[in-house]
Amino acid sequence: MSYRQSNAKSRKTLRGGAIGAIVLALLLLTPLWGFIENGVQRVAAPIWRGGDALGARVFSISTAFVSNKEALVKKNQELEEEIKAIRLKLLDRNLLLEENLELQEMLGRDVYGDRTISARALSGPGSSPYDTLVIDIGENKGVAVGDKIFVSGTVMAGNIVEVFAQTSRALLLSSPGEEFEVFIAGNIEATAKGRGGGNFTIELPRDAEVSVGDVVRTVSSSIGIIGFVEHIEVNPSNPFQKIFLKSSINIFDISWVEVLKQN
Amino acid sequence: MGGSSKTKLTERILVRALADITLVVSLLFAPWQATLVLGILGAFIFPRFFEIIIVGILFDLLYAPTGVGVMVLLGTISGMALYGSIEYAKTHLRGY
């Protein structure tokens, strides 16, 4: 390629970049972004729903082809055993939750009641590095910015940051840069910081008694569990200890959530 | 002669359309790293693969938490940067 040709290509690339920058500025400085965002969400929602259904069907067909009968019977038995064990655990958990709610009612605290609404997660944090979740309800079900997202009833996962006609976008608490107040090791109040991928950190004075496995709850919600202490880093030269938390749920595997309406 | 070049053009358009569909499907269902790799591959394989910018914008329209106050446009900016740098690199690489 000659020098002149190469130069002409570079000029074209630069011109393309300039046009791109102008388009970007137009998108950002006008209400066009919100308008297009709403339209894209409206188109994407049914594709996501259809994709999930198709994925489940393809998975079931491929499983039938791949697995032989004996392996399936064995797998079935294992799963049944697992279900029995989980049911027992769930019973215990439900009893505790009921007791918790009763105590809260006795103390005159607000119990969620019918302010929660179930929603399907259309797209999770695996698809984006932002740690956001797109759910299949929006203005049509009265979702509002600031509503809280729970998984499995008690694990607080995030907050609604944007609401569209039929979908909403939630920012997970573990999103990098997110900060919120928590109770750790019973009643020590601290600020947790998101690290992405369902991980958090807390800094506390070195003499605060925290141990691995301690449950961490949110301050903003009476039964909102965040996760548990996974690892504690203590440096003799630092008056603070760094506590690493892990979410109680696998955020890459969220398929259903509960939205707690704020009003 | 004319017929053959027309067929080749149709083939090229079809291949590119297939690449675009793959990229969009990956944007909706695959991990973001897969979309990034596919976008980079597309930009090296096809001439002026501006789809990488469009996918970057779509990425932000679908997933970016723009409602939190600070405009996060990682996808859009990355798409533009990748397009510019790959097109620039192609002018200095043999075989383009």
pLDDT in tens, chain A (263 residues): 555 566 676 677 677 777 777 877 777 777 788 888 889 999 999 998 888 777 766 666 666 666 677 788 888 888 988 887 787 677 667 667 767 766 766 665 555 566 788 899 998 888 888 889 999 999 999 999 999 999 887 888 999 999 999 999 999 999 888 899 999 887 889 999 999 888 999 999 988 888 888 888 888 766 688 888 999 999 888 899 999 999 888 888 888 899 988 87
Q: Are A132 and B59 in contact (CB under 8 A)?
A: no
pLDDT at A54: 76
The answer to whether residue B71 scores a pLDDT higher than 80 is no
Amino acid B19: pLDDT: 94
Nearest residue in chain B measured CA to CA from A20: B80
pTM: 0.76
pLDDT attached to residue B40: 95
For residue A51, what pLDDT is reported?
82
d(CA A41, CA B67): 14
* pLDDT value of residue A20: 72
Supply the DSSP symbol for A54: H
Which amino acid type is present at position A225? I
Which residues of chain A approach chain B closer than 8 Å at the C-beta? Answer: 1, 6, 9-10, 12-13, 16-17, 20-21, 24, 27-28, 33, 36-37, 40-41, 44, 47-48, 51, 55, 123, 126-130, 132, 134, 145, 161-162, 169, 171, 175
Cβ-contact A212, A230 below 8 angstroms: yes
Task: Output phi, psi for A110, to 5 deg.
Answer: -75, 125
Q: Average pLDDT for residues B5-26, to the nearest whole number? A: 90
Q: How far apart are CA A97 and CA A36, in angstroms?
A: 43
**pLDDT at A124 (0 to 100):** 83
Q: Give B22 or B92, the one with higher predicted confidence.
A: B22
Min CA distance, A121 vs chain B (Å)? 12
Q: What three-state secondary structure class fits A2?
A: coil
Contact: B61, A6; criterion CB under 8 Å: no
pLDDT at residue B2, as a whole number: 58
pLDDT of the residue at A108: 58
Does the distance separating the beta carbons of B92 and A17 come in below 8 Å?
no
| Confidence band, pLDDT 50/70/90 cuts, at residue B24 | very high
Q: Judge: B32–A129 Cβ closer than 8 Å, yes or no.
A: yes
CA dist B74 and B87 (Å) reads: 20
